[in-house]
Amino acid sequence: MKNRKQAVNPYLPNWEYIPDGEPYVFDGRVYIYGSHDQYDGEVFCLRDYVCWSAPVDDLGNWHYEGVIYPKTADPYNSDGHMCLYAPDVTQGPDGRYYLYYVLDKVSVVSVAVSDKPAGPFEFYGYVHYEDGTKLGDRPGDEPQFDPGVLTEGGKTYLYTGFCGQGDRSRSGAQFTVLGRDMLTVLEAPRIIAPGSCYSQGTGFEGHAFFEAPSIRKVGARYYFIYSSEVMHELCYATADAPQGPYTYGGVLISNCDLHIDSYKRADQPTAPGANNHGSIVQIGKDWYVFYHRHTAGHWYSRQGCAEKIQILEDGSIPQVELTSCGLNGGALKDVGEYPAYIACNLYSPNAEIYVQPTEPKIVQEYGTTGRETSYIKGITEGTVIGFKYFDLQDVTGLRIRTKGYFDGTFELTSKPDGEILGSVTAISSNIWTAFEGAFTPKNGIGAIYLRYRGSGIAHLKSIECLHED
């Protein structure tokens, strides 16, 4: 495709905050469903459900489908006092599309329906037993949370649950079977993956179920994807049938890149980690994992990202590292100005696994439209900023745009602690100001890292590779 747009992480515009991403391909387009955060919001999921979609052969060209379901559409929430938590979508036996979700202050599963994948959806009902009692309300039921759904053979398989560490009242991930009406329980919930209080001696120990259940079928194998007890990682388990038994498989991705040892120590976090939620999808011949990252220095402004994965012949999926190029199908071109917010690594010498408000962060500029640009704020001595990957060819320098009260040098490397390949000296400015420096990386696919050495606090808007004229 001649006019194919490059894809980056986050894959949606910088001003959009869609975490908990559930990706699906319908009729040649990728649709992303998720909850909807507000930039610099006080809690999770403050906004209505919206949908974005992209052609399967142009994954940098996302289209806004609009609001597909307002939070006031649920009869329990006509005054809007509750939030719409993470949803999932499945196509029913009747060909319609069903949206499953849970509100933040009730423990039952709500369902909405639409004739089209991009909605609009209308409230349809609550998942219930044959006697009309809602799932989650019957004595002995564990609270419902984060529904994931898969429909095949006239039945819908519903996966739900939340298990906080130390809470023995929550057993694990629940599996429930629904009938053709998409609402009525045919088989009552059973536990298919243990929470942390019940994982000792199982294959899930250390990576027990926490939240974010999602389900996919790959060939004849079922993949149960979930957020583990440490929160920042998405894990998977596999089975030969929807109900299991499920065998723990491993970590798909960590949003602080823990466990990855290809470019740093395995125990070193290189991005602000926190909760995670997502799933996998096949787009063309390739498989991807969708997940979310954290911005604004807290947990409540999350953005969707994606990475290419490999499903090996034995069904295992090796953990993949965070990148800036995500859905691009390869490295980014080394031509043009790139916004700093696509950085996949961002940390200081004081960084811990979980997001900290005092650390360098990705923020959005103040304005009245809500669509202002984003940048990296709060760069101090020793801060490392990483962009992966570029197709670097005959690069001779780097141009950066900065502002803030500071005086120092950005060392340029191809690894976080790698050899210095160049530098850019920059000084204080009240407006975005360009500075340039020599930079000679090796030709080929590589990363660009900036490591700040100096005083004060700097902010970074963009980077641009330079070449000889």
Residue range 272-282, pLDDT digits in tens: 999 999 999 99
C-alpha distances (whole Å) from 108 to each of 85, 121, 128 are: 12, 19, 9
Active site residues: 20, 211
Query: Looking at residue 160, what is its pLDDT?
Result: 98
Can you give 268-292 as a three-state secondary structure string? Answer: CCCCCECCCCCEEEEECCEEEEEEE
**pLDDT score recorded for residue 335:** 98
Res 405 pLDDT > 60: yes
Give the mean model confidence (pLDDT) for residues 420-439.
Answer: 98
pLDDT at 374 over 90: yes
Read off the pLDDT of each residue in 294-315 and give the average, rounded to a whole number: 98
**Sorting pLDDT into bands at 50, 70 and 90, what band is 4?**
confident
pLDDT on residue 2: 56
402: three-class secondary structure by DSSP: strand
Residue whose entry in the numeric block shows the structure tokens 């602080």? 256
Give per-residue pLDDT as tens, 142-190: 999 999 999 999 999 999 999 998 999 999 999 999 999 999 999 999 9
Residue-wise pLDDT tens digits, 31-83: 999 999 999 999 999 999 999 999 999 999 999 999 999 999 999 999 999 99
- Fold category of 332-467 in CATH: Jelly Rolls (2.60.120)
Residue 119 has pLDDT above 90, yes or no: yes
Averaged pLDDT, 437-441: 97
Q: Do domains 22-328 and 332-467 have the same CATH topology?
A: no
Size (the chain), residues: 469
- Average pLDDT score over residue span 386-411: 98
> What's the pLDDT tens digit per position in 240-268?
999 999 999 999 999 999 999 999 999 99
CA neighbours closer than 13 Å in the CB half-sphere of residue 139: 0
CATH number listed for the domain at residues 22-328: 2.115.10.20
Q: Please report which confidence band the pLDDT of residue 469 belongs to, taking 50, 70 and 90 as the band edges.
A: confident
Look over the chain and give the mean of its residue pLDDT values, rounded to a whole number: 97
Q: Domain coordinates of the chain in residue numbers?
A: 22-328, 332-467
